[in-house]
A and B are shown apart, each in its own frame.
Chain A
Amino acid sequence: MKQLIIIIICFLSLSFAQGDKSPTNAGAENDSIPASQIPHWDNISIRGFINKDSLPQNDTLIFTVELQLSGNPDDYSFLPLENPQVSRLNLISTSSKNRSEVKNGRTMMFKEYQFVYCPTSIGMAYINAVTLHYKYLPLDRDRTLQTMRLGVKVTDPHFPAKKAKWPWITGFSLLALIAICTILYVLLFHKDQKEAEVDQGIPFEMEIQTQLKESRNFLKSGDLGEYFDSISHLMRRFIAEKYDFDAQGMPTIELINRLKEMNINDLLREKVKKVLTTCDMVKFAKHLPSQMEIDEVYINLECCTTDSIEENKEALINIDNNTNK
């Protein structure tokens, strides 16, 4: 009787000891099998893992299912592994490989299933547990192994900054551009400024007088049309500058009427009218001017400009006198 009790206690303790050694992610036996016939739990195990805990939306994720086996592999028959159920992930490709290692004198067989995913949206993505079904052939028993459910954080897409090609070309172009701009500035703007400074010093009447003298060259070359054209242009410019309105865009009668409206003195108005009317006759009516008319328009315009210069001088003297007072 005593022996029977000891045998029962040993059996129970052996049973409990067997249960404590079960791995977390290993499968559980479906039926009760005599302990002597069950393969050691360490002989076969499965685990799933991912290559990163978080990834940008434009990156890929590799999920690996690793099956570890020791002992005789011919004792097992595996059913094909189904693709894992996933959320917010798109399966891009799958692959599998086998390898063997010797650990502590025991030959270990490994089988790896790899799944490559691309995230579909930002947030948490999940890979559900993968179940592997197999049969232990010596006992003809069906068993299952299962991995854990895994999560991965999907973040905003990441675009690495492109490296500039041939940075020396960009630099050189910039330098060349700066050099060209500097040269242009010196040539145009600076020159214009100098010219403007010079121009500011000369009254427009003097300029007109200079151009008037130059217009005599047309007479020497016998080009009457050009001569009267330039006289008409200079007279209009004189009026435009002196009275500040668009005399260049006005026909003669309109211009004279405008001067009348502005109460410009009759003498000047008559001179302007005479010059412009004669010019119009030559320009638009093929009028052949007499030498007297040629000289008259010249003298009248010269007179207008000289009078204007004198007026300005007198005005300046008056201003000075008033200031001194």
Chain B
Amino acid sequence: MDQDIQALNERIKEESKFVADILGEMDKVIVGQKNMVERLMIALLSDGHLLLEGVPGLAKTLAISTLSRIINARFQRIQFTPDLLPADLIGTLIYNQQEACFTTKKGPIFSNLILADEINRAPAKVQSALLEAMQERQVTISENTFKLDEPFLVLATQNPIEQHGTYPLPEAQIDRFMLKVVIGYPSKEEEKNILRLHSGNSAPTVETKVNPERILQARKVVREIYVDEKIENYILDIIFATRFPEKYGLDDLRDLINYGASPRASLYLKITACAHAFLRGRGYVTPEDVRAISMDVLRHRVIVSYEAEAEEVTSEDLVRRILGKIEVP
């Protein structure tokens, strides 16, 4: 192995040890949902945000609150409702009678880990305020701009049922979420473990294993992971196949895709593949890393056409077809 990569590989093996500690602690509380927990870690290490879709009661809140305790980060849960205002989220100016001046009252967004629960129930202006904070990593209240603390991770949830009276996120705003993870029910065996673990008098507890600084340091290491040109070409082939499927022998997908993935998707696919390799203690990315994370990066970025909807073809079906067609390097 090239000396630099060998050194990097060794370093990453060392640096990524804390991941096993975090996952071990998470296992104490969260039964199953390995995919969700791993994606949560990937988003945290890639400096991205996560959109979770699943029915209520699948441990979404529990997962992120547990993670915040393990990494000793501040956590806030915001329930998005139709009457929520941007000020409820980012904060506002309050008149201080004693000092006869306005003071800034910071909103719940000033935390490390945010759970934006049922984001599609709040009106567009509130969604916009959150998504702007997610992108810019800063919030402006009146004339003052405040930087948000690092690490800053938003875990937004969407409920696939009860869509009446919701405000679906526009494509441009969904694109700002690095990953969209769809979670399902646990298996029967897992659910039995949940019954045993959470029905007793004492709730399982977790210990703080790392501090936020360690996460920030790991983020830097993730960006140093070696990505070969073959892997970069593989990523580009996948992304371009979503835009021009006919050039990759997928002529039948041409009419089913309205818009392919954006360049942001290429960037996110690369960085999340690096984070995936980091979780496995590798200093280089393999096609396996790209394949593993592709669905979560692309499912909300491939916009299906009316024809696809009529034929009940989902973006996941299309991504699956593309991944099956593009030859692994």
Contact = CB atoms under 8 A, between A and B. Distances in A.
Interface string B219-253: 00000001010110000000000000000000000
A285 B5 contact: yes
B267 interface: no
Interface residues of A, number: 16
Interface string A225-262: 00000000000000000000010111111100000000
B1 A284 contact: no
Interface in A257-290: 280-281, 283-288
A246 B324 contact: yes
A220 B179 CA distance: 46
B291 A251 contact: yes
Contacts of A251: 286-288, 291, 328
Nearest to B231: A284
A253 B326 CA distance: 17
Given A248-B328, A251-B288, A288 B1 contact: yes
B48 interface: no
B91 interface: no
B222 to A, nearest CB: 16
B283 to A, nearest CB: 7
A285 B226 contact: yes
Contacts of A249: 323-328
B286 A286 contact: no
A248 B327 contact: yes
Nearest to A289: B1
Contacts of A284: 226, 228, 230-231, 284-287, 329
Contacts of A283: 228, 230, 329
A281 B324 CA distance: 23
Interface in B282-308: 283-288, 291
B9 interface: yes
Contacts of A288: 1-2
Majority secondary structure of chain A interface residues (helix, strand, loop or mixed): helix
Nearest to A285: B284
A253 B276 CA distance: 14
Contact of A280 (B286, B324, B325, B326): B286
Q: Which of A248, A284, A287 has the most CB of B within 10 A?
A: A284
A283 B231 CA distance: 10
Interface in B24-66: none
B228 A285 contact: yes
Contacts of B325: 249
Q: Which of B1, B285, B328 has the most CB of A within 10 A?
A: B328
A230 to B, nearest CB: 13
Contacts, number: 54
B2 A286 contact: yes
Q: Which of A250, A254, A285 has the most CB of B within 10 A?
A: A285
Contact of B283 (A250, A252, A280, A285): A285
Nearest to A277: B286
Contacts of B285: 284
Given A248-B328, A249-B324, A249-B327, A287 B288 contact: no
Interface in B144-168: none
Nearest to A236: B328
A142 B288 CA distance: 113
Interface in B313-329: 323-329
Contacts of A246: 324
Contacts of A254: 288, 291
Nearest to B4: A286
B248 to A, nearest CB: 12
B10 to A, nearest CB: 12
A232 B288 CA distance: 15
B309 to A, nearest CB: 27
A50 B186 CA distance: 96
A246 B283 CA distance: 28
A228 to B, nearest CB: 12
B328 A250 contact: yes
A286 B291 contact: no
Contact of A287 (B1, B327, B329): B1
B270 to A, nearest CB: 13
A281 B328 CA distance: 15
Contacts of B329: 283-284
A59 B53 CA distance: 76
**7 closest pairs, A vs B, by CB?**
A286-B2, A251-B288, A285-B284, A287-B1, A251-B287, A284-B228, A253-B288
Interface of A: 246, 248-254, 280-281, 283-288
Given A251-B291, A286-B226, A287-B5, 20 more contacts: A249-B323, A249-B326, A251-B286, A252-B286, A252-B287, A252-B288, A254-B291, A280-B286, A281-B1, A284-B230, A284-B231, A284-B284, A284-B329, A285-B9, A285-B226, A285-B284, A286-B1, A286-B5, A286-B284, A288-B2
19 contacts: A246-B324, A248-B327, A249-B324, A249-B327, A251-B328, A252-B286, A280-B286, A281-B1, A283-B228, A284-B226, A284-B228, A284-B285, A285-B2, A285-B228, A285-B283, A286-B226, A287-B1, A287-B5, A288-B2
